Amino acid sequence: MKGRLGRGLAAVMLTVLPAALFYLVAEGLYALSHGRSPSLSLGYQGVALVKETFADRAPLHPGDPNAVPLRDAGEIEALLASFRADAVGLGNTPYEELKTEEASIHLEVDGCKRQKPNMRFSQIQLFTTLFEPLDPVVAFWDSGRTLNPEVAAFIRRYGFREVHLTTNRFGDRMTLPEVTREAKVIVGGDSVANGVMLNDDETLASQLQARDPARQYINTGVNGASAADVICAIEAAVRNYGDRIDELIYVYCENDFETGQPYGEPEQVVDWIAGFAQRHAVGKVTVVYAPYFYNVLPQLSRFKGYRGYFFPRHGDERHRLAEAAKSAGFGYLDYSEIALEESREAGTLFAAYALFVDHTHYSRYGTRRLADRLTAE
């Protein structure tokens, strides 16, 4: 009985498998002959799935500069206890156990999120596509700490370009070169103004300071700040440095659009800026709109299954911010203009990638382009 059943199944398989194979080949040829993309073919998708499965298991050649080194989250998880012991944070990952007070660069001052004073932290991006492709994993730790040898080896193997974040006694990021002048220029905002993944001398405040030694530039940007935190940091700067504010550059990131939260509407922020400028006789105000990459070049960033695909487009809020800033008599600059100009000059849409270190923060080069524009204006 079992022998007859086995022979019957074998006969069915011998009949079905060739038919299925013939169908997939014929369907693929039909798709191509009718001008359809091969990716629409079931046969193509089946082969691609098999290739992807084996490619993911294929060994990496240690000398291949184009390989994506970190493909197994298990390598991170095996070191989680060591990361925690060394107070090494891993930003843009799901490992909540690494978010400790010791690893944090923040504290709360009078209900506002601020950076720790007199701090020097190291930051480095990791080569990996384990999580969000346009928001790389960032490792960060106290620069004065000697890391566990395994942790240090992991960072050396997978890290790209270590940078340093230094704060002064007020918790503001260090602006270089260091100068003290009566006339002050405040560069306010969240992590975009602060300069994530930039060295202290590469931030917007530092690049502007190098061009303008007659005034003192103060970087009050706070990583992860809300609009209310940004405003709190700017007001603190007046108390800490004196009230001769010659200019305010307010970097307005898209994550400041938070309806229902304090200063969550663009008009509320502009109204506050106008009042601040009047109270302190600020001679010039410029609002820099900093959109996420998803709203700069969506055709290169909105991938299905990833954050960018679902990221809000903020078209209405963007228009309202521009109108409110211009109505108040402020200068206004949309960073999208710089990105599109970069693409036109290079003759490729991909050129805009060079302006960013991740999905929202600017590279050293991208920051220089912004400083160029602000100086020209």
Whether residue 105 contacts residue 223, with contact meaning beta carbons closer than 8 Å, is answered with yes
285: left (phi over 0), alpha (psi -120 to 50) or beta: beta
Per-residue pLDDT of the chain (377 residues; tens, 9 = 90+): 545 545 554 554 455 445 545 554 455 544 445 444 444 555 545 544 444 444 555 555 556 666 668 999 999 999 999 999 999 999 999 999 999 999 999 999 889 999 999 999 999 999 998 998 899 999 999 999 999 999 999 999 999 999 999 999 999 999 999 999 999 999 999 999 999 999 999 999 999 999 999 999 999 999 999 999 999 999 999 999 988 999 999 999 999 999 999 999 999 999 999 999 999 999 999 999 999 999 999 999 998 888 899 999 999 999 999 999 999 999 999 999 999 999 999 999 999 999 999 999 999 999 999 999 999 97
Please state, in angstroms and rounded to a whole number, the distance separating the CA atoms of residues 291 and 313.
Answer: 9
Break the chain into its structural domains and give their ranges: 2-57, 73-166, 184-376
Whether residue 210 contacts residue 177, with contact meaning beta carbons closer than 8 Å, is answered with yes
What CATH number labels 184-376?
Answer: 3.40.50.1110
pTM of the predicted model, to two decimals?
Answer: 0.85
Whether residue 299 contacts residue 349, with contact meaning beta carbons closer than 8 Å, is answered with yes
46 membership: H or E segment, kind and range: helix 42-57
**Inter-CA distances, 43 with 23, 67, 117, Å:** 9, 28, 60
Q: What is the pLDDT of residue 36?
A: 46
State the number of CA atoms in the 13 A half-sphere of 6 facing the CB.
Answer: 3
**What digits encode the pLDDT tens for the residues 22-78?**
554 455 544 445 444 444 555 545 544 444 444 555 555 556 666 668 999 999 999
Q: For residue 110, what are the contacts with CB-CB under 8 A and spacing of at least 6?
A: 232
Whether residue 90 contacts residue 102, with contact meaning beta carbons closer than 8 Å, is answered with no
Using alpha carbons only, give the angle 126, 175, 355 rounded to the nearest 5 degrees: 45
- Tell me if residue 242 falls in helix, strand or coil: coil
Closest CA to 326 of 359, 286, 291, 361: 286
**What digits encode the pLDDT tens for the residues 84-108?**
999 999 999 999 999 999 999 999 9
Q: For residue 102, what are the contacts with CB-CB under 8 A and spacing of at least 6?
A: 87
Whether residue 286 contacts residue 377, with contact meaning beta carbons closer than 8 Å, is answered with yes
> How many other β-carbons are positioned within 10 Å of the β-carbon of residue 147?
20
Please state, in angstroms and rounded to a whole number, the distance separating the CA atoms of residues 25 and 47.
Answer: 11
- Tell me if residue 146 falls in helix, strand or coil: coil
Lookup: tokens for 341: 């100009």
Q: For residue 303, what are the contacts with CB-CB under 8 A and spacing of at least 6?
A: 133, 309
